[in-house]
């Protein structure tokens, strides 16, 4: 996209008083009825939700009543929608899910990576305990998919394949939420091996609007979505972790106004509950994509600045999120030599 008309500069990286780098992206803000309220860039561009799809991949489990069947707690549901940090309490929670469905960690097909939590990662590298698939940030999602496979008598060895009933149902469910055909949703294989979904940005925003406000959907789907959102909000440490994770801190600081979930390659989805956005009675969804995939540097400032400009965050809440809003640029000596700053005005892109 670069600097053509479909994309706008969202973040500037200052070194001293000069802009050294910029990150471009697109934003769409949609209410739960489907009306686009703000559009910055080409909101018809198809983007991958990546891990931001997790709340919707969890929906068939909750909607089918499997939470009750397996006595899953809200903490366990939250980690099924998570990109967790691989901390000890995350690992134990996923192990608890697997125990309830009669499986072991070797059933997980998500692969392994070092935990996002730096302390846990360092302990593994020192040999204190082994790295396993339980540390994968997506292990909760995979445990939830295995629960559905066990409950329905589906094969366990290939639950990640696009043609598996679990993945077919995931795609169909998301399509129904946003009012399109499953064939309209493109799929790609995510980092953990399962299909993820690609949608026009404005439909991704609609999905998050309906996660926050499912009143336009039939029961029991609306009730199930509300439970997922509530579980994420009430247990944000399960969705991310306790050390500097945006999802966790945003939902904790702005509770109970916001439900949020990161996706890889700098996609972000935010749902605002009904009445949270000033002047709007309905729930609202926000979706944005940073073109160069710069998650760590660009996504947190854009997310916090959007909520600030929209009047969602109080000054006190904004202050608590300052480390995400204007992250410092440091040199190798640990000295602050610059700052990352949001560089957009969403009010200029409000639609009539």
**pLDDT tens digits for 181-229?**
999 999 999 999 999 999 999 999 999 999 999 999 999 999 999 999 9
Q: Which of 236, 214, 180 is nearest to 285 (CA)?
A: 214
Q: Which of 224, 213, 219, 176 is nearest to 197 (CA)?
A: 176
Q: In whole angstroms, what is the distance from residue 114 CA to residue 139 CA?
A: 13
Average pLDDT, the chain: 97
Q: What share of the chain is helix, strand, coil (3-state, %, to 5)?
A: 45, 20, 35
Q: Is the pLDDT of residue 3 over 80?
A: no
Q: Which of 26, 50, 47, 28 is nearest to 39 (CA)?
A: 28
pLDDT at 352: 84
**pLDDT tens digits for 263-321?**
999 999 999 999 999 999 999 999 999 999 999 999 999 999 999 999 999 999 999 99
pLDDT at 4: 40
**pLDDT tens digits for 232-245?**
999 999 999 999 99
**pLDDT tens digits for 165-176?**
999 999 999 999
Q: For the chain, give the percent of residues with pLDDT over 90.
A: 98
pLDDT at 6: 83
- Domains defined along the chain, listed by start: 8-349 (3.40.710)
Q: What is the sign of the dihedral through the CA atoms of 155, 160, 162 and 165?
A: positive
Q: For the chain, give the percent of residues with pLDDT over 70.
A: 99
**pLDDT tens digits for 103-138?**
999 999 999 999 999 999 999 999 999 999 999 999
Q: Is the pLDDT of residue 1 over 50?
A: no
pLDDT at 5: 57
pLDDT at 183: 98
What SS3 state is found at 24? strand
Q: Is the pLDDT of residue 2 over 80?
A: no
Contact 208/271 with Cβ under 8 angstroms?
yes
Greatest distance between any 2 Cα atoms in the chain = 62
CA angle 11, 14, 18 (to 5 degrees): 120
Read off the pTM. 0.96
Q: Is the pLDDT of residue 21 over 60?
A: yes
């Amino acid at each position: 996209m670069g600097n053509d008309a479909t994309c706008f500069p969202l973040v500037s990286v200052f070194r001293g008083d000069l802009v050294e780098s910029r990150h471009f992206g697109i934003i769409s803000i949609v209410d739960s009825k489907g009306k686009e309220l703000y559009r910055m860039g080409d909101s018809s561009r198809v983007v991958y939700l990546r891990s931001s799809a997790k709340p919707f991949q969890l929906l068939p489990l909750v909607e089918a009543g499997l939470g009750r069947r397996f006595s899953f707690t809200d903490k366990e549901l939250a980690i099924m929608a998570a990109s967790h940090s691989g901390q000890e309490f995350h690992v134990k929670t996923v192990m608890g899910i697997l125990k309830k469905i009669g499986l072991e960690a070797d059933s997980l097909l998500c692969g392994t990576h070092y935990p996002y939590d730096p302390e846990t990662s360092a302990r593994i590298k020192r040999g204190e305990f082994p790295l396993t698939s339980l540390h994968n940030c997506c292990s909760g999602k995979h445990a939830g998919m295995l629960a559905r496979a066990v409950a329905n008598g589906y094969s366990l060895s290939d639950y990640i394949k696009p043609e598996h009933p679990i993945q077919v149902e995931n795609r169909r469910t998301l399509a129904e939420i946003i009012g399109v055909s499953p064939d309209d949703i493109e799929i790609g294989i995510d980092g953990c091996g399962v299909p993820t979904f690609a949608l026009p940005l404005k439909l991704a925003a609609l999905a998050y609007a309906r996660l926050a406000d499912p009143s336009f959907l039939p029961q029991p789907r609306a009730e199930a979505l509300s439970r997922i959102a509530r579980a994420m909000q009430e247990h944000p440490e399960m969705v991310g972790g306790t050390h500097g994770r945006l999802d966790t801190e945003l939902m904790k600081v702005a509770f109970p106004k916001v439900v949020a979930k990161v996706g890889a390659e700098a996609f972000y989805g935010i749902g605002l509950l009904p009445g949270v956005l000033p002047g709007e009675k309905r729930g609202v969804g926000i979706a944005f994509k940073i073109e160069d995939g710069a998650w760590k540097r660009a996504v947190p400032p854009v997310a916090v600045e959007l909520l600030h400009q929209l009047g969602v965050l109080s000054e006190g809440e904004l202050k608590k999120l300052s480390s995400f809003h204007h992250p410092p640029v440091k040199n190798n000596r640990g000295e602050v030599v610059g700052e990352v700053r949001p560089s957009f005005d969403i009010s200029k892109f409000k639609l009539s």
